[in-house]
Amino acid sequence: MDTLLRLLVAIGFALLVTAAAALVLHLVFRALARRRRWAAVLSRRTKHPTRTMLLVVLLWAAFASSIPDQPDAYPWRDGVSHTFLIVTIGVGTWLACEIAIVLESLGLHRYRVDVPDNRVARRIRTQVLVLRRLTVAVLVIIGLGAILLTFPGVEAAGASVLASAGLISVIAGLAAQSTLGNVFAGMQLAFSGSIRVDDVVVVEQQWGRIEEITLTYVVVHLWDDRRFVLPSTYFTSTPFENWTRTNSELLGAVEFDLDWRVRPGEMRAELERILDRTELWDRRVQVLQVTDAVQGFVHVRVLVTAHDAPSLFDLRCYVREELVAWIQRTHPDAQPVQRVLMVDEVAEPRASRRTASTASSSALFTPDQEDRAALFTGPIQTSGIPRSER
């Protein structure tokens, strides 16, 4: 009875100390957060694992100090202590992962992606996000290994495991070939710079942005808010378009097929007025050219530039709409038309109207060759020829 009472008192004291320590930490971090951004981030991310760690450690200390180490009287003491040890390792792993994430987030704070020229920031963000996942995976593996080492007999079993490590590695490599390939491909994507988070890409004839890069797959946010999930090996083995690999500025084309009566000079002046009225144009390139003029159409191409892909798409639509309205309003004769030539049917000459000279010139036997014609049309002479030879 005295042991149970001591245990209850120790548990109550542990809860009180945990509440007091949590309150003190909260006040300290709130005061620091007013002057330091990292304090606010650290307090927000580590609040729950820190309080859980304090509670578990203090409860474990209360239990160890209240229950004597007497296996005969308290055989369950070792089991409870082992459970506290496992929980402590697990919560410690959780706290270490949160601290690692906070440190990486603070490193990303200097690299903003909401600015026009954010190529370096997107590259750093992609690499840090992949490293974050690797760090969390390594910490979790270390935590699981530490938990396994708390069980008796694991050290002895380790020798037999190491003896068959060669066979196990071969089997694991064959079984997880595609998974390991995606893991290495994800690391290659993070550090090669072929794609980065927020890059504009065209994959499988779909236009979108790189939303997330993991160790095994890449998420592409398509233009219609769908998500296209592709394995990491796709971007290392399949050709794709990356519109923002070197910079975010892009050049786009708007094309028209118009009638030959179009006036390119006036159309070029109207394009200049259209671009001056919009902020989508970055004032780098403004070109209107007649690139082809064959058959019944004149092919006009307009080249414009914008800061990024969404702005370029909106700019192309805006220029197309304004030029179409201008052609309909001021130059309707420049709209494309189809020309059809209507002619009367020509009668063929009749055979009865052929002249005699034409007929005689085309005949096989002419009048001056009657003797020759007789050889083919006259009777055949058979007299004087023996009957056996006829």
363: pLDDT strictly greater than 70 = no
Tell me the pLDDT band of 327, cut-offs 50, 70 and 90. very high
Instruction: Give residue 173's pLDDT.
Output: 55
Residues in the chain: 390
User: What share of the chain has pLDDT > 90, as a percent?
Assistant: 12
Instruction: Give residue 304's pLDDT.
Output: 92
Window from 15-19, 262-266, 337-341, 383-387 with minimum mean pLDDT: 383-387
Instruction: Give residue 322's pLDDT.
Output: 93
Tell me what the mean pLDDT of segment 268-279 comes to. Answer: 92
Sheet with 200-203: strands ordered across: 227-231, 217-222, 206-213, 200-203, 241-242
Tell me what the mean pLDDT of segment 27-32 comes to. Answer: 80
pLDDT digits (tens, 9 = 90+) for 31-59: 777 777 777 777 788 888 888 888 888 88
158: pLDDT strictly greater than 50 = no
Mean pLDDT of the chain: 77
Q: In angstroms, what CA-CA distances link 107 with 101, 102, 124, 127?
A: 10, 9, 9, 12
386: pLDDT strictly greater than 80 = no
CA atoms within 13 A on the CB side of 214: 12
Instruction: Give residue 359's pLDDT.
Output: 46
CB–CB of 220/230 below 8 Å? yes
335: pLDDT strictly greater than 50 = yes
Instruction: Judge residue 216's burial from the number of C-beta atoms within 10 Å of its C-beta, 0-12 exposed, 13-18 middle, 19 or more buried.
Output: middle
Q: Which is more confidently placed, 192 or 90?
A: 90
Identify the residue whose tokens are 């592409």: 220
- Distance CA(127)–CA(377), nearest Å, equals 104
**Would you give the end-to-end CA distance of the chain in angstroms?**
151
- Distance CA(344)–CA(339), nearest Å, equals 17
- Distance CA(106)–CA(44), nearest Å, equals 13
- Distance CA(263)–CA(258), nearest Å, equals 10
Instruction: Give residue 373's pLDDT.
Output: 54
Residue 53's φ and ψ, nearest 5 degrees, are -65, -45
Instruction: Give residue 372's pLDDT.
Output: 58
- Distance CA(246)–CA(196), nearest Å, equals 11
Instruction: Give residue 268's pLDDT.
Output: 92
- Distance CA(134)–CA(127), nearest Å, equals 11
Instruction: Give residue 38's pLDDT.
Output: 74
- Distance CA(191)–CA(178), nearest Å, equals 20
| Most confidently predicted of 73-87, 216-230, 355-369 | 216-230
Instruction: Give residue 36's pLDDT.
Output: 77
Residue 333's φ and ψ, nearest 5 degrees, are -70, -15
CB–CB of 242/195 below 8 Å? yes
pLDDT digits (tens, 9 = 90+) for 103-156: 877 777 776 666 666 667 777 777 777 788 888 888 888 888 788 877 776 655
Handedness of CA 318, 320, 324, 330 (dihedral sign): positive
